[in-house]
Amino acid sequence: MATKVGFTRQGPSEWTELGNPAYLRQQVEENLFSLGLDHIDLLQLHRIDANYSLEDQIGELAKMQQEGKIKHIGLSQVSIYQLKSAQKITPIVSVQNRYNLIDRADEDVLNYADENHIAFIPWFPLATGKLTDDSQLTTIAKKYDATPSQIALAWLLKRSEVILPIPGTSSSEHVISNVAAQNIALSDADFDVLSKMSTK
């Protein structure tokens, strides 16, 4: 079970970061209650809030880890500098940053995670659906009797051993298809072609 804390939500598409340690603790307690758990396996800090010190935010999560409420701590949408700073406070097992075939702005963070055996969880792995009917992916998908979404996920899985894609879906058929993407052995040549797709 993995979840995140550190945002308030005022309405659709309205998110405000809040790293007040008391609020982070409240969110963990609320998650434990609503999920019916005695601990959360992976608790990720959604964003580092510049209004509070990193020590206060990560320190509160580390306290809850010592109390047995959290097993592992992860971060989301961070730079290498922020990741290294957090690592000085407590072990960080994962980073959840935006990353997909056509959005690779955080390549440096992925490389750092790879070198340091930290899980990299790319959010928007299907570029919010833009990759599900991409023509270049469709062409390659035909060779593997696969779908474009599966090829986009297979590319991520081949890109690095530390990548754990989290495609979002409202369809059980898509869940099954997305999980099956792990069985696609993308050739090096097709991986290279896809790696040259233009990015933002």
How many residues belong to the site for ligand NAP (CB under 6 A)? 23
Question: What span, in angstroms and rounded, lies between the C-alpha atoms of 179 and 195?
Answer: 22
Q: Select the span of 64-72, 155-163, 164-172, 185-193 touching ligand NAP (CB under 6 A).
A: 164-172
Task: Tell me which residues in 11-40 interact with ligand NAP (CB under 6 A).
Answer: none
Task: Report if residue 3 touches ligand NAP, rule: CB under 6 A.
Answer: no
**Is the CB of 41 or the CB of 67 nearer to ligand NAP?**
41
Please name the residues in contact with 147: beta carbons below 8 A apart, sequence gap of 6 or more: 132, 141, 177
Q: Tell me the closest approach of the beta carbon of residue 170 to ligand NAP, in angstroms.
A: 4
Each as own residue / partner, the long-range contacts of residues 127-131 (CB below 8 Å, 24 or more positions apart, any chain) are 127/100, 127/101, 127/102, 127/103, 127/152, 130/102, 131/100, 131/101, 131/102
Nearest Cα to 44, choosing from 9, 8, 78? 78
Among 124, 134, 146, 159, binds ligand NAP (CB under 6 A): 124
Six-digit token pair at 124?
Answer: 């928007």
Among 166, 187, 192, 195, binds ligand NAP (CB under 6 A): 166
Q: Tell me the closest approach of the beta carbon of residue 66 to ligand NAP, in angstroms.
A: 25
**Is the CB of 66 or the CB of 172 nearer to ligand NAP?**
172
CB-CB neighbours of 134 under 10 Å: 21
**Is the CB of 67 or the CB of 107 nearer to ligand NAP?**
107
